[in-house]
Amino acid sequence: MINMDHNIEKIREIVADILVCKTHDMDHTNRVYNISLYLASHEQDVDLGILKPAVLLHDIGRIKEDSDNSGNTDHATIGAKMAGEILLNFNYSNEDIDKISHCISAHRYRGEIKAETIEAKILFDADKIDVLGAIGLARSFTSNGQYGQIMYTEQSVEEYVKENFVEGKITGRIKDPHKHSPQMEYETKFKFISNKLYTEKGKQVAKERLEYMSDFFKRLKQEIAGEF
């Protein structure tokens, strides 16, 4: 029989050694973990034996994606494969590994795989909620410094998407994070998130956080323009 609590702590240790990304680090993972449990408490028939390891492992492929400026590397796909290899060491069944891998494969915003299970939907929602609100702003400007990005640009969203998104589509992945900015992340992703979520509680939390973020970017634009 699998000792879930023991496995979760061991998996957490493995993930902590892998994640060294600035905004997709263990702090982010722990926040998503807590948000996921909160959302799960408002849903029925959630298998925590699937959800918990999926949340902990969801970003383990991130380093490989961040080192590729082509936008062709998908950390969700890579992470699902890596997770499967890790979980074999903890005596998870092939069925459970498939369920956990699906959660990871389907968790990214700019991904083609859609969440089909309640566990996958919760992970997707929790991961997106963590990019909104005050913590979302803090993460955005951490990335801003990490990649040496500009703070704000007058370039149109349409021109920017054509230049720096795979296939020139707003749903495509970002090619070069160095050309990105918190403002463009808001214009191309943040403002649309609440409409993409699956759970009612997730949508509720996201909308409240997005209002805070929207006010910030309005104020940022005014201050950059020298308006008083």
Range of lowest pLDDT (29-43, 67-81, 112-126, 172-186): 67-81
Predicted pLDDT of residue 6: 84
Q: What is the mean pLDDT of the chain?
A: 91
Cα–Cα dist 228/218, whole Å: 13
Distance from C-alpha of 126 to C-alpha of 150, rounded to nearest angstrom: 28
CA nearest to 119, candidates 138, 100, 137, 134: 100
Q: What is the pLDDT of residue 171?
A: 84
Banded pLDDT at 72 (limits 50, 70, 90): low
Question: For residue range 121-130, what is the model confidence (pLDDT) as tens digits?
Answer: 999 999 999 9
pLDDT at 106: 94
Please determine, for residue 188, whether its predicted confidence score (pLDDT) is greater than 70: yes
CATH number, position 159: 1.10.3210.50
Q: Rounded distance, CA 141 to CA 217, Å?
A: 12
The range of the structural domain enclosing residue 39 comes to 4-224
CB 173 within 8 A of CB 110: yes
Q: Poorest-confidence range of 13-27, 149-163, 188-202?
A: 13-27
Q: Are 185 and 140 in contact (CB under 8 A)?
A: yes
129: which DSSP letter? H
Q: What's the mean pLDDT in 143-147?
A: 87
Report pLDDT digits (tens) over 76-115: 889 899 999 999 989 899 999 999 999 999 998 877 899 9
CB 120 within 8 A of CB 102: yes
Least confident of 22-26, 67-71, 223-227: 67-71
For residue 43, give Cα distances in angstroms to 7, 47, 196. 24, 11, 18
How many independent structural domains does the chain possess? 1
Cα separation, 189 vs 139, in Å, equals 14
Average pLDDT over residues 31-42: 98
